[in-house]
Structure 1
Amino acid sequence: MEELLGRIIAGKVTDENEKDYYVQVAGTTFRLDKSEIKKPLKLGSTFKGFAYENEDHDMQITRDAPAVQVDHYGMGTVVRSQRTLGVFVNIGLPNKDIVVSLDDLPDIMELWPQQGDRLMIALREDAKQRLWGVLADGEIYQAIAQPAKKHMQNANVVATAYQLKLVGTRVMTENNELGFIHPSEREKEPRLGEELHARVIGVHEDGTLNLSLRPRTYEAIDDDSAMLLAALQHSEDGHLEFSDKSDPAAIKAYFGISKGQFKRAIGHLLKARKITQHDGQLWLVSEAEEDESTTD
């Protein structure tokens, strides 16, 4: 069979039954589901569509061509994995998922894409007329990338990991900006295809981004800080008669933590501008005051 699969091809309608038309191309007959066709096709007419082998190993042609084709890259969603084969990707066909070979996936299986992760792939047809998914490389991402704007500094972005390296993770945001996450800016290495919620910590002249998966200081409040903040929020007038000068025994009796832990919690909340400390007392910062300090 000449190279037909994974492409949009044209053939002649040669037969039909109650459910399907049959389209012949270069000696190969493809099934065409009649539910796709609004106006009946005439025998001998020409039909153009996307050709593939479905999960039942029948040759099929469809008018609803996916974006992912031979030499055409598009996004697909991972539906499952098989240790001995690779991951199966839904590219929009009703009865066919495309396999990305384990040879093209990370050596560590924990970094393989999981169900719901997204990969940019194209198709290739092997010598046995089987379709495989081909991962987009860095050049493909460079070709479709959009430059980031300077005002994105400190912005939150959603990005997908597309390249895992020892030096860090390369990602593309949902707006097609390219980004890089250094190992020091993450708790664990992202999976290939994983959707990540990141923060912009640098915008380069070439329009690429440095990103962090670590929370901002005010988002990284520890348990002691959270407990102290809750105590202030539940106080009658938003203040407590404690400070970093308070007696250790009184702190232990009221909060159940040491004075060292208490002082660290105060420090975190002061840095996050959640509280103030004056007149020997702790005061809760109101939402209006928080908003005002954020815009300063």
Structure 2
Amino acid sequence: MKELGLVSKLPINRFTDFGAYLQLESGEEVLLPQGYLKGEERENDELEVFVYTDSEDRPVAVTTRPIALLDEWGVMEAKEVTSFGAFMDWGLPKDLLVPNAEMGKNMEPGKKYLVKVCVDYRTNRLIGSTKHKDFIYPAPKDYEPGIQVEGLIFDKTDLGYKVLLEDRYEGLVYANEVFQPLEIGEQRTLYVKKRRDDGKIDLQLLPTGREKYEEGAERILKILEERKFLPLHDKSDPEEIKKVLSMSKKHFKQCIGQLYKAREIKILEDGIAFAD
């Protein structure tokens, strides 16, 4: 079935008490259950649906889009781990099974994992795989320091946050360089710090050079507009600065230095305020 695991626009062939039957490219039909109909549809109307198999392995269409389509990656929570695999919440009534043979590591209920949606061609069912290392390639050399990239944050380790780039490259944001909240499963704009010899990418949250300080300076000015005074200075505790501004003490000092030179702020003994 060509439409399996994908979002497709399919025409309505006919209605029944159970819902609407949509026509596949092969000429066969797939049921869109009654609960997904608005009541205003007519025969021959085209509906955008996702096609997968229900709990009895019958093809079924839904108007809900899952976390990931066929051959895509997504971060999903493990709802249940059994003797034969883990059932993942991917946003649909029927959970996605990651069979034991497709587990990259042991999984635990309630934890989130990077999952690739695949087809088990023996059964023609959609399954998941967490063996992301089998699909990772060395990043090309044009990943140069400073370029902006989009990444999916998929794991946290003692070293930092692992990031998937372009569905095929792996990056890392070091834990000691994170000064704002990051969430597993978050899509994030990041900046290349370095391409390592193994083809993996060191990443950072802010642009390098002058742009970095300008972004932080804008954040300080915005907070000053709201509060008029910010009780932070070069002797403030680094954790307090991180809590208020989501930046390191070093970054804070660089930003207020820039703002002071630009005569935007005045530096007082107990904090900073707008210049007179």
Q: TM-score, normalised by structure 1?
A: 0.47
